[in-house]
Chain A
Amino acid sequence: MTGLGYAVDAVAVWLSGSPAPGWIAVTVAVLLVWVAPLLAIIFPVAALGQIVERKVAAAIQRRHGPNSASLEGPLRFGFRVLLCFLPRATQDRAFQRFLKLPVVRSLLPILQKLGIGQLAADGIKMLGKEDIVPRGADGAVFRLAPYLALTGAFLPFCVVPFAHHLVMLEVSVGALYVIAVSGVTVLALLMAGWGSGNKFSMLGGMRAVAQLVSYEIPVGLAVAGVVLWSGTMDLHAIVAQQYRPGVFTFVGWNLVQSPFLAMLAGVFFLAGLAECQRTPFDMAEAESELVSGFNTEYSGLRWGMFALAEYTEMLLIGALFATLFLGGYQSPIGEQWIVGLHPLLATLLHLGIFAVKFLASLFLMVWIRWTLPRYRVDQVMRLCWLTLVPICLVAVFGLAVQLVLAGGTEAGTAYGRLAALPRPALGVLGHLLGWAVPVLLLGVLVRIARRRHGGMHPALRQLTGGGS
């Protein structure tokens, strides 16, 4: 065993054909298990996020969105590169023959309608743009920042379980690792802001850092709540802990396990939205006041890296939300039958389910972006400190009380090849308290809001045209 995780071990043993693989096999296994998924799956999926964004935006605004950029140009370019050892005429003949293939002929227009051609064209355009470093910039810091941003966005994926045992790195402190590694983004934004040698960038960078540092508290508290509930920091074990045998598997999901966890889920999603600087929290790149914030001075590929980092972080928030609160890659109904299937089939099914879950949250984020206006910078901070942090504190406290009242743990059911995890055994009192307290809290909140705003929030009243 290499100590590098189940997946690396399995691939290395399979490659070398011996139970004790040599270092060459281990290296190849590391490349296959860790590096390849990053480059071959997360990179293109994050790029596809941009297309999802533009298409959903177009649908909301009753437009078609990108649908005219042809894929022929990029494909021809690809052929030229791949067949560069052949004469030009042969390349063209091969390309024409490729275009006449029935699959290609039927598929190309669909892909073009979906806007994939736009994606390819944008990518090539970005590669070709001049890489400008302003004269007043701090060269090294300016150049390094995009790489750091991308690193901070990609590394957390190492511990996210995509399917049963399909996780790059099985570490016992997965939840903490995610929070630690994604904190690197703060440094990247500060470096970009300061390194640009531009007041707008500096202001944008400062805003971004203030926002990220503040919103790390609700995110951390929400994750801490889940860790408290599950009794483990291993994301894989957290997923396994949400398994229940039976037809309706979703009753085991953390979201419906306790109302306090549901509160934390809401806070996690909102704070996650703020962590990836999306509307309504995109104060850092408020183009109406700060040009483009910390990435004002960036052009070409370096700008592309920041954009890619943003979409990767959106995917990460979606994946973490699914893992922590929505049972990870498990199916909502009839998970026990999927576990019983052939491992390969089960893995594929789990991958599909996981993709649906995090695409749904991606869609939700895009929907929010194109529906809501942006918060002012002080409102962003106020929402964090005056609303989200108190909610988190109350929810974590309530969760702890509920766990104490539960008075113990019961042995869970073994999930697939994962051993059974103990989980809280709530008595009648625990359940009663768990549901009564939040309902009471909600009542008090509504009461306060009514007294303050006379029945309806002023904004809502204005929107609905009067009435109480």
Chain B
Amino acid sequence: MIEQLLFLVCAGAAMAGAVGAAVVRNLFHAALLLGLCLLGTAGLYLFLQQSYLACLQVVVYLGGVLVLVLFATLFSADVRGAVQRTPVWLRAVGGLGALLAAGIAVQLARAVVAHGKNLLPSRRDPENTPDAIGGADAIGDLLVGSWLVPFLLAGFLLTVALVAAVATVRRFRRPLEASRG
């Protein structure tokens, strides 16, 4: 009962956010609505028992990507979307995208209708419950198991990026202090 209500809230937030982000003219509002969509998706992950994935979604997308997007929108000359009109070719591309999304949605719906009963919790294979698939432990095992090399490469890349950020700041340190006298 409560679970269904919460599910509807999360799904509704995700859908409303997605539609709003595409439709609203004000760029800042569109970015915030994108955030609502991402938050709703994180909530949906919780219903799949994927608390780790939900937390990561919030850290990476809400705390990182969305802030970047918001910063980027603030560089726009026309944040409120009051002046510029959308060009026709862009509208055409948007319509094409909408068609594509509708096709995917229909395919998904057909798949759910065809196999939906097997997805119910009562019919689930206990060996393959989501918790066993995507919990923090399972993801950790995968990362340092079969995906060890990509994981190490990604970790190495991130560390290099972090050290490079520090090095970049250091390079500007001397002249700044010199100019301060």
Binding site for B on A (CB under 8 A): 23, 26-27, 138, 140-141, 171-173, 176-177, 179-181, 183-184, 186-187, 190-191, 194, 209, 213, 216-217, 233, 378, 381-382, 385-386, 389-390, 393
Contacts and interface: CB of A to CB of B under 8 A. Distances in A.
Contacts of B66: 187
B162 A190 contact: no
Nearest to B35: A187
Nearest to B50: A173
A141 B29 CA distance: 8
Contacts of A381: 169
A40 B165 CA distance: 44
B55 A180 contact: yes
Contacts of A187: 32, 35, 62, 66-67, 70
Nearest to A180: B58
| Contact-residue bracket for chain B | 20 to 34
A56 to B, nearest CB: 32
A176 B63 contact: no
A187 B64 CA distance: 10
A209 B67 contact: yes
Nearest to A182: B63
Contacts of A179: 55, 59
25 contacts: A23-B1, A23-B2, A140-B29, A141-B32, A172-B51, A172-B136, A173-B51, A176-B52, A177-B51, A179-B55, A180-B56, A180-B63, A181-B58, A183-B63, A184-B62, A187-B62, A190-B70, A194-B28, A209-B67, A209-B71, A213-B63, A381-B169, A385-B169, A386-B169, A389-B166
B2 to A, nearest CB: 6
A362 to B, nearest CB: 25
B59 A217 contact: no
Contact of A172 (B63, B135, B173): B135
B159 interface: yes
Contacts of A386: 166, 169-170, 173
Contact of A186 (B67, B135, B136, B170): B67
Nearest to B28: A194
Contact of B162 (A23, A180, A181, A217): A217
The 8 closest A-B pairs by CB, nearest first: A183-B63, A180-B58, A176-B55, A180-B55, A180-B59, A385-B169, A173-B52, A177-B55
Contacts of B2: 23, 26-27
